[in-house]
A and B are shown apart, each in its own frame.
Chain A
Amino acid sequence: MRTSVRTALLTCLALLIGVACAAAQPAPPSAFGGASSAAPNAPGPSAAPPSPSFAFGPPQAVALHAPGLVGAFFSWVVDTQQTMQRELAGGVKRLKTGDPFIAAVSLAGLSFLYGVVHALGPGHGKTVISSYVVANEETVRRSVIISFIAAAIQAMTAVAVIGIFAIALNASGLTIKAWSLQLESASYALIALVGLWLLFGQLRALWRRFRPAPAFAPAGAGGPQVDFDDHDHGHDHGHAHAFARGDHDHDHGHDHGHDHHGHHHGQGEACHHIVDAKDVSGPMSWRKITAVVFSVGIRPCSGAILVLIFALTQGLFWAGVAATFAMAFGTALTVAGLATLALGSRELALRLGGNSGAWAEGVWTVCAIGGASLIVLFGATLFVASLGPARPF
């Protein structure tokens, strides 16, 4: 798994470099001539007078401005997003009019950046994934991988929704919106259920810990920091694959017998966990991870839906798909960054106790119960909100 992720990343990088090199070949002089050549045919009869910077004539809005310093920051965020979205639209169009290589590279880059910023908004799993990794015995590397799988599923959901409804069924935008909202509600409901399941598991583990019986000896034997590859010794061999089949290439052969004591420390991880305290949280489990990424991933990213439909109307669906995945790469990075930050806080909290086992136990308990509770609360709140009146746009 680890190597395959690394391979995938390297492949992406190699592709980008390759395309960039190809684009550096001498290009015809008309590379960006298309933008201005679109000018004569645009304005409709009743359109407002064309503004000088645009080929077409729709009215341009004044910049939004909220009062205060914080408001200025939010205004900037909003403005940046609008600029990026316009750039994205321009990027898709340049594929037809400009040099295709340059256009492809800039579209990929733009989509990636858009994804990084866009993920700060709701609906990309940052709360769920951060809470999950904090509540469970997860490492930085694992939370990065979880973020990437969730983003990939989300991208595939968006492509599937547009592929089925817009292309196969030629459904209207209203139908697509309605289906996206259904998926969104389902995602929130699933998040709440997954949270409940995690919470139940944590509470059960906690209950076991406080029983006098020495039932938990084996769990600590593998060392506190379970390596990514040797998942679930003696636990969870069931591996629920029902959900994200084919979405990730994980190792079906259980790597028993090696790496048990391999301490793989990501940044921000303390070197000495208190072994006993680890029992509070469950062991690394693909079943849990699958549930988390699936519940997050079945909600299509609204940004991706818009880019896909826009690309489709330009007759460049493939560009939309590529942009969607570049965007997913960006959102995954942001989500992974926030999850890492959350993990860093947990590790810091653990270190604050010095060598106090009781303190570490307390931190683990709070993280485990608090994280799972947060997921339940988050999913339930958004699910209820999603049942409200449908948005007009």
Chain B
Amino acid sequence: MKPTAPQLRIRRRQFGCLCAAVALLASSPASAHPHVWATVRSEIVFGPDHKITAIRQAWTFDEFYTAMAIQGLDTNGDGVYSKEELAPLAKVNVESLHEFAYFTFVHFNDDNKPLPLDAPKDYWVTYENPVSTLHFTLPLKTPLDPREKPVAVDVYDPTFFVAFGFAKKDPVKVSGAIPADCKVELEKPDAGAEADAKALSEAFFSQLGPNSNFGSQFAQTVNIVCNKK
């Protein structure tokens, strides 16, 4: 039976919707797809003048990535992966992290633009069977006073190749002279629905390009907050 013209028009419209659905389905979960998992432990370093001078990072990687990373690096063949043997790995890691802003985004007073960081001077990789940990210290270009304005540190990979999550135990520590009325704390993930619409549109469209910012929605934040007198 030949469908009538209006029937066809409706079906064609339905087909348009189907096409869009298929296109989204085919591409949507693409970026929810990390290959490396890293457990983050951060240290907020305070200078003698109670200002934040650096962020010290320790990222512990999953077993699979670790196996890949240390492959072939036991150069003296003694079965131990020493700090010296792993030094080339640390160097490549930290140098290529530069292009990715060290996956560490320091914000002063909810400023959207993250503050510039200096290249790490000390960095090394340790291997404790079965996982490896990359350690490095990121100096801030300008020390920040958390008593002036709140400071927030996000750790995430915008492209979500690496899934960063803070450690369950001791995710963030303080080193140096923190002001007495200040504290560092890991922000609890906000389950609120206010971000739904934003997440919906960003999740679907941000990942279609190579410069995706998909990972930002998984960002975990350390807040350095002070009680104003």
A residues lining the B interface (CB < 8 Å): 42-44, 46-49, 51, 56-71, 74-75, 77-78, 81-82, 85-86, 88-89, 118, 120-122, 126-127, 130, 166, 170-177, 302-303, 305-307, 309-310, 312-313, 338, 341-342, 345, 348-349, 352-355, 381-382, 384-385, 388-393
Contact = CB atoms under 8 A, between A and B. Distances in A.
Contacts of B129: 42, 44, 56
A228 B64 CA distance: 41
B191 interface: yes
Interface stretch (B70-78, B140-148, B176-184): B70-78
A78 B32 contact: yes
Contacts of B33: 77-78, 81, 118, 120-122
A88 B65 CA distance: 13
Q: Which of B3, B41, B88 has the most CB of A within 10 A?
A: B3
Interface in B24-39: 25-27, 29-39
Given A71-B195, A120-B29, A176 B217 contact: no
Given A61-B165, A68-B195, A313-B71, A392 B64 contact: no
Contacts of B30: 120-122
Contact of A345 (B18, B32, B204): B18
A46 B132 CA distance: 12
Contacts of B26: 126-127, 130, 338, 342
B163 A78 contact: yes
Interface residues of B, number: 84
Contacts of A172: 71-73, 88-89
B93 A392 contact: yes
B168 A62 contact: yes
Contacts of A310: 63-64, 67-68
A8 B72 CA distance: 37
Contact of A390 (B96, B164, B167): B96
B223 interface: no
Interface string B83-124: 000001100111011011000000000000000000000000
Contacts of A86: 62-63
Given A389-B100, A393-B36, A82 B169 contact: no
Contacts of B41: 59
B72 A170 contact: yes
8 contacts: A61-B166, A65-B218, A67-B189, A67-B199, A70-B200, A70-B204, A78-B33, A393-B36
A74 B217 CA distance: 10
A246 B25 CA distance: 34
A74 B204 CA distance: 11
B157 to A, nearest CB: 9
Interface of B: 2-3, 8, 11-12, 15, 18-19, 22, 25-27, 29-41, 60-65, 67-73, 88-89, 92-94, 96-97, 99-100, 126, 128-131, 133, 161-171, 189-200, 203-204, 209-211, 217-218, 220
A275 B133 CA distance: 63
- Chain A binding surface, main DSSP class: helix
Contacts of B193: 67-69
Contact of B29 (A66, A121, A175, A381): A121
Contacts of A382: 210
Nearest to A338: B26
Contact of B70 (A63, A126, A173, A392): A173
Contact of A47 (B128, B191, B204, B210): B128
Q: Which of A69, A70, A78 has the most CB of B within 10 A?
A: A70
B200 A389 contact: no
Contact of B32 (A51, A58, A74): A74
B35 to A, nearest CB: 5
Nearest to A126: B26
Contact of A177 (B68, B126, B166): B68
Contacts of A82: 34, 37, 62, 163
A67 B67 contact: no
A124 B198 CA distance: 29
Contact of A354 (B2, B61, B198): B2
A64 B221 CA distance: 12
Q: Which of A67, A77, A121 has the most CB of B within 10 A?
A: A67
Nearest to A43: B128
Given A65-B189, A171-B72, A392 B167 contact: no
A342 B22 contact: yes
A302 B65 CA distance: 11
